[in-house]
Amino acid sequence: MTPRHDSSRALAGYYESVRDIGKGSFGVVKMVKDRTTSQERVQKTVSTAQLAPGVLEMVRKEVDLLCQLDHPHVVKLFEYVEDEDRQELVLILEYVPGGSCAKYLKDSYFDLTEVLVSRLIFQALSAVAYCHSQSVAHRDIKLEHMMLTQGGLWGQPNCKLIDFGLGAFTVNACSQDFVGTPEYMAPEVISRATEDVTKLDIWSIGISTIELLTKKNPFGKPTELGSNDAVYANVMKYNHFRDIENKFLSGLSGWTTRSDEAKDFAYWMLVKDPEARPKAAEAIGHPWMQEHREKRASLTREMITSMQGYIAAHQLVRCCLYVVAARTEVANRERLEAAFVFLDSDRDGEISSQDLAGALAKPAEWWDTSAMPDLMSVLKGGNQFDPEELVQVADLDNSSGLSLTEFLATCLYTKQDDNESLVRRAFEALDDDRDGLINAKQINEIFEDLDLNNALPPDQPISMSQWCSFFNEGFTQPTYQRKVVVRKKMRGWC
């Protein structure tokens, strides 16, 4: 794990503190604003001085996991530094302004609609299915760790998973690990007999579903029952769903008035035998999930036009688009993220050429009628792009599909005022310490085979004007003719 900056003091200097969000035993969480771009972020500062080695390792593990995850419904880590002199670890994270699902539920006077609950659970499952495809299990899913955007797409909030401190690579997870929050723990965790850690996440999402539908945890909470042990005892008594349905949910209007599809979904998620529980990708296919999933999020005319331009752009311009997508705020991001999730048919966090071909074969949806003539002319005319060609040129990590950041990059081409503004935004994104300078070594770590050492000694800084001089007058071609390949050290490239 390599820190992004020399010290937490330097990192803090790049951000203006806006307000405190929370304070815990390990540190503080603040909302901050980037002094250069005015973009809002969350700064999580963990004091490492008094942390037990195991807890510190847990925090470091969260950083490692977040650096490798790149999904619309997983909170994004932008920057981090571990400062040994100041004995603190500072993380700069995506700001999700709507608060947690737990707070949202508590503040709701009426029961939540099934449409909303199904939408949020669908998004959580999409994130979990992706994490599992990357051999990562969260192991502490609960309403407090399901954060909401404020307004969301079409007026509905969107959900993002946070707090991967108890997460684990599935190959390293131990059957004896006793992790999680008591009222969300699966029976096999309490009995220390875990065989498949991914099924722990499924159980926790099932409990979260019931809470969102009924405003009640089916096994009770330590604050209600007086101890963790009382909750564990309730979980260990569980054999069939009717056990909690008869004891805890009977008479609750939030349960008795729910649809059969919603109840069937909860039954399936809370099967005691973990082998009989669905995988996350299977659970997404449940009729209740499909009935309420977002069906209006396919490719738009603007996205298709941008992808056409992206294919025709020079490789270095594509690399600049990737840098901008990875490290800065993207306009209309939630709309683009919704399209990504819609297109990702197998829930592995990658869009294949087949996914793109399927989207291009469909006519414009009713909600996009204003764009239908132009879109149909693109689809029926000779300007439709080849999905395989797009994946070939945009797949910068050679994974045979487009990650979220790669997909965003293809959608950004037409959002630039001009190529010069793109080049300048890329420079600002590369300028980690905001001093108006970058260096050849730093760029070479990202753009393999660029070989800037021939243009500028590696021990000298590169200014904005020098960076711009690498391009021709139209900022469409570099002033040298070398192939450019991007090497990503980590998934998500924080």
The string of DSSP codes covering 37-61 is T--EEEEEEEE-TT--HHHHHHHHH
pLDDT at position 488, please? 46
Q: What percent of the chain has pLDDT over 70?
A: 83
Average pLDDT, the chain: 83
Matching residue, tokens 């809470």: 211
Does the domain formed by 101-292 have CATH 3.40.109.10? Answer: no
pLDDT band at 296 (very low <50, low <70, confident <90, very high): low
Architecture of domain 8-94: 2-Layer Sandwich (3.30)
- According to CATH, the topology of domain 301-486 is Recoverin; domain 1 (1.10.238)
- Domain ranges for the chain: 8-94, 101-292, 301-486
Nearby residues of 55 by Cβ (< 8 Å), 6 or more positions away: 26
pLDDT band for 152, please (50, 70, 90 cuts): low
**How far, in Å, are 84, 110, 207, 294 from residue 113 at the CA level?**
48, 9, 17, 15
Q: What's the pLDDT at 480?
A: 57
pLDDT at 182 over 80: yes
With contact defined as beta carbons under 8 Å apart, do 451 and 482 qualify?
A: yes
Q: What is the mean pLDDT of residues 6-31?
A: 78
Using one digit for the tens of pLDDT, what is the confidence trace for 235-248?
A: 999 999 988 888 87
Q: Alpha helix locations (H) across 218-272? A: 222-225, 228-236, 241-244, 253-256, 260-269
Mean pLDDT of all residues in 86-115: 90
Instruction: Supply the pTM of this predicted model.
Output: 0.87
* DSSP letter assigned to residue 476: S
Confidence of residue 146 (pLDDT cuts 50, 70, 90): very high
Please check the confidence at residue 422 and state whether its pLDDT lies above 90.
no
pLDDT at 370 exceeding the cut of 70: no
